[in-house]
Amino acid sequence: MPGGVMLQIGIHYVDVLEMLIGPVRRVRAASAQLVLPGDNPDVANLILEHGCGAISNLTASYASASEYYMMNVYGKEASAYYDLFGGLRYLHRGEAAPRAVATAATDTIREELEEFAACIRNGRKPETDGWWASRNLAVVMAGIQSAREGRAVDVELVAAG
């Protein structure tokens, strides 16, 4: 499993970041193997440069006391915050505290299977397809290469093979 935690966990966050911000064009990464046996990284940090000029930071780790998923998106007029225990919140410029956003509890595995079945039945295109998956893999592979070589790596060069 080249890249360890980058491929096992990080790829799912690449998916979300590209949906929210747009395609990643360049990756700078660092990784370490701290707690798990073997030689695959269990901690990784990727700095993602998006085509629109935005920069995002993705950290994935197995070297923690528990699973704690969180994502913060900072904008000029508002910011959004999500974590596994606190849920989704947002803060508009000038406000003193973030507000909770009500979201329905969902069974994500069931949701994925229902979409898959609907695509088969109706010939509909899935929300994320093979192209999208290959694109996310190219971002992660650029991160793996960057961590090994200590330099920024262009995603398009990795995607081209």
pLDDT, tens digit, for every residue of 69-80? 888 999 899 999
Cα separation, 33 vs 27, whole angstroms: 20
The pTM of the full predicted model, rounded to 2 decimals, is 0.86
For 15-53, write each residue's pLDDT tens digit.
899 999 999 999 999 999 998 888 888 899 999 999 999
The pLDDT tens digits of the residues spanning 112-142 come to 899 999 999 999 988 888 888 899 999 999 9
The token duo for 2 is 């080249």
* pLDDT range class, residue 62, cuts 50, 70, 90: confident
DSSP class per residue in 93-146: TT-SS-EEE------HHHHHHHHHHHHHHH-PPPSS-HHHHHHHHHHHHHHHHH
Confidence check: pLDDT of 159 > 90: yes
